[in-house]
Structure 1
Amino acid sequence: MILELADIRIQPGKQAEFDVAIARGVEQAISKAVGFRGFKINKSVESPERYVLMIYWDTLENHTVDFRESAAFQEWRGIVGPFFAAPPVVEHFTLLSKSA
């Protein structure tokens, strides 16, 4: 399993609107993608314009090819993109260890 971690910075004062948009974007566009396994959205306490989106995929290619090259990616960006202050920083991780 692959963890996609997206560090998202949005425009100041748009948090309430973005809270709705990011949840809608994941449910409407990303959750139907091939290899999608789940997600978590976290918002920063100290930096109100910062969000961390974690998406779990079966494979790296499910995100980088199957999703990114699909119409669903364009739909996702249409929903959340207008809020971005800068392009999200995205990295992929594999699990090393976890608690019980």
Structure 2
Amino acid sequence: MVLEHVHITVSPVNVAAYLDAFEQARPQVQSQPGCHSCRLLPKLDAPGEFLLLIQWESKAHHTEGFRQSAEYAKWSRLLHPFYEVFPVVDYFELD
């Protein structure tokens, strides 16, 4: 199991619209083979900053599965316009 860790920054004035878009996009990732969970956590005292945590069966389920899918294209269309800077994605091994 791996944990995808993504730090996301959006303009504070766009937070409500981003959260609405995320709720529309969430099913795109949660329906993917190998996706076990997907959580978006707001950073305390920093409006517009979020931590996205997605648990995958393997890194390949994300990079070779989801990222190559039609669902990822929809995810991108919904969420990428909100990013102030493109998020950095890291992967951590889970026990």
Please indicate, yes or no, whether the TM-score normalized by the shorter chain is above 0.5.
yes
Query: Residue 40 of structure 1: CA displacement?
Result: 1.2
Query: Residue 84 of structure 1: CA displacement?
Result: 0.7
> Post-superposition, which runs of at least 4 consecutive aligned residues in structure 1 deviate over 4 A?
none
TM-score (normalised: structure 1): 0.88
Query: Residue 14 of structure 1: CA displacement?
Result: 0.4
In 1, the alpha carbon distance for the partners of 2:24 and 2:76 equals 12
Matched pairs, number: 95
Structure 2 residues without counterparts, runs of 5 or longer:
none
Q: Secondary structure at the match of 1:68?
A: helix
Q: Secondary structure at the match of 2:12?
A: coil
Q: Counterpart in 2 of 1:11?
A: 11
Q: Counterpart in 2 of 1:66?
A: 65
Report which of the two has the higher share of helix: 2
Q: Secondary structure at the match of 2:68?
A: coil
TM-score (normalised: structure 2): 0.93
Percent sequence identity is 27
Query: Residue 11 of structure 1: CA displacement?
Result: 2.1
In 2, the alpha carbon distance for the partners of 1:12 and 1:41 equals 16
